[in-house]
Amino acid sequence: MKKFKFSELPYQTKATQAVVDIFLGQTKGSRKEIVSREGMLIEEIFSNKKIEISEQDKLKNINAIQKESGLPVSKETFDDNFTVEMETGTGKTYVYTQTMFELNKQYGWSKFIIMVPSIAIREGVKQSLDDTQEHFYEKYGKKIRFFIYDTKNKSNLINIKNFANTNNIEVIIMNYQAFGTNSEESRKIYQELDSLQSERPIDIIKRARPILIIDEPQKFGPTAENKLKEFEPLFKIRYSATLPEYYNLVYRLDSIQAFNEKLVKKIKVKGFEILGGGGTNSYLYLDRIQLSDKSYPVAYLEFEVKQQNGIKKIVRKIKEGDNIFDMSNQLNQYKGYVVSEINGLTNRVKFTNGVEISVGQAHGDVDEKHLRRIQIRETIASHLQREREMYKRGIKVLSLFFIDEVAKYRKYDEKGNPLKGEYEEIFEEEYLNAISQRDLFDEDYNKYLDK
């Protein structure tokens, strides 16, 4: 079994220490109480010790951290909400995992909930906690006991019951949909369950006074704040690269800093331009121009074509003299669109009505979904082109899509089974179409693709 080797980086230590220093003056300890029912001993309950330092001292600590790092200075504590801004790819999950260990080491706090906006991110956090267990054990001599909140899983219900029964570091990983929506499953956290001796999960959790670690809070929606108050947290720490609001910002590692410190790779970004629009309806997208020693250049143009089952956008090979009006099965918006020139030197196509379009440009009205399709198609084309240059040298090409939400690529049904999202379906269609054009590739690269 392959093991990962982790090293602690200075900026990660600084981000961790910034949170720890908020509570300078707090004494270490935990809270223990005996819970009984009708005079009978039931169980011992361990919870996070309450914050002892005053609001004034807490604010003084926060301001000292902010002034040292050149951050905006807070004028209030914002109901114990704190923010850590970290650029994507710089180890945010590692940092808040280390922060849990340090808060336990310095102050004795041991009950945490990691709140995430989706099931996919929840699974990634669980994997990260798995991968770093041995690494943090070597440093702190203890391990986190963590589990995913899931009322469908009987063993996890036992974990919920035991959340406050030990003084160990206990972590619940919870996606917002598990408690913050109106679904039947989401409402279970507020219901008395037989498997929990007629207790409500929310009551068991909140009596431990958990510390909430909120991953990407801007994705939770407008009603999240009131829902999060249900847990009666000791305090909340928000981690994100893109936050609309900052509550007591105590650490910042933005994209420019991350790049300047060589923490993220320099990337080449490919964009495209939309021309026209505003109700022109004459949609065109110039995919590429193909040159040949044996014939005149041809272009691959995407436009709308009238078919029996409706109008569909299709990529067609065109040459000089072609009439797009005829090729579209006489859609009126293409009247006058006759190809007058295909220029392989400038990568432009001209039409007799004066319209010109370059490779990578879209003309006319483009809806949001098709805009994403073009972006995915162009990224695949660029990837294949770069890969053909690099594969013989043993260099692997990596191409990235930055998407607006995980559910657009991968979503899950009520039973947790993965389903293809909108972008995954588009990706598979465009990828299969791209590699089907084998006449564009040499024999060796075709074999490489097949492998």
Tell me what pLDDT residue 136 has. 95
Give 194's pLDDT tier (boundaries 50, 70, 90). confident
Give me the mean pLDDT over the 352-378 stretch. Answer: 85
Give me the mean pLDDT over the 354-359 stretch. Answer: 90
State the Cα–Cα distance between residues 219 and 382, nearest whole angstrom.
30
Give me the mean pLDDT over the 178-195 stretch. Answer: 82
Give me the mean pLDDT over the 25-43 stretch. Answer: 73
Tell me what pLDDT residue 279 has. 47
Tell me what pLDDT residue 4 has. 62
State the Cα–Cα distance between residues 119 and 250, nearest whole angstrom.
28
Tell me what pLDDT residue 41 has. 55
Tell me what pLDDT residue 359 has. 86
Tell me what pLDDT residue 99 has. 98
pLDDT greater than 90 at residue 321? yes
Which pLDDT tens digit goes with each residue over 155-170?
777 788 888 888 889 9
Tell me what pLDDT residue 12 has. 92
Tell me what pLDDT residue 134 has. 93
**Quick one: CATH architecture of 10-260?**
3-Layer(aba) Sandwich (3.40)
pLDDT greater than 50 at residue 408? yes
State the Cα–Cα distance between residues 322 and 301, nearest whole angstrom.
11
Considering only residues 292 and 38, tell me which one the structure prediction assigns the higher pLDDT: 292
Give me the mean pLDDT over the 223-238 stretch. Answer: 91
pLDDT greater than 80 at residue 331? yes
Considering only residues 60 and 273, tell me which one the structure prediction assigns the higher pLDDT: 60
pLDDT greater than 90 at residue 209? yes
Which pLDDT tens digit goes with each residue over 414-450?
666 778 889 999 999 999 988 887 777 888 888 888 8
pLDDT greater than 70 at residue 42? no
Considering only residues 89 and 443, tell me which one the structure prediction assigns the higher pLDDT: 443
Tell me what pLDDT residue 423 has. 92
Which pLDDT tens digit goes with each residue over 103-133?
999 999 999 999 998 888 888 899 999 999 9
pLDDT greater than 90 at residue 411? no
Domain boundaries, the chain: 10-260, 273-363, 368-450
Give 278's pLDDT tier (boundaries 50, 70, 90). very low
Q: Which of 109-123, 257-271, 274-288, 335-349 has the lowest mean pLDDT?
A: 257-271
State what percent of residues in the chain have pLDDT above 90: 43
Per-residue H/E/C for the chain: CCCCCCCCCHHHHHHHHHHHHHHCCCCCCEEEEEEEECCEEEEEEEEECCCCCCHHHHHHHHHHHHHHHCCCCCCCCCCCEEEEEECCCCCHHHHHHHHHHHHHHHHCCCEEEEEECCHHHHHHHHHHHHHCHHHHHHHHCCCCEEEECCCCCHHHHHHHHCCCCCCCCEEEEEEHHHCCCCCHHHHHHHCCEHHHCCECHHHHHHCCCCEEEEECHHHCCCCHHHHHHCCCCCCEEEEECCCCCCCCEEEEECHHHHHHCCCCCCCCCCCCEEECCCCCCCCEEEEEEECCCCCCCEEEEEEEEEECCEEEEEEEEECCCCEHHHHCCCCHHHCCCEEEEEECCCCEEEECCCCEEECCEEECCCCHHHHHHHHHHHHHHHHHHHHHHHHHHCCCCCCCCCCCCHHHCEEECCCCCEEECHHHHHHHHHHHHHHCCHHHCCHHHHHHHHC
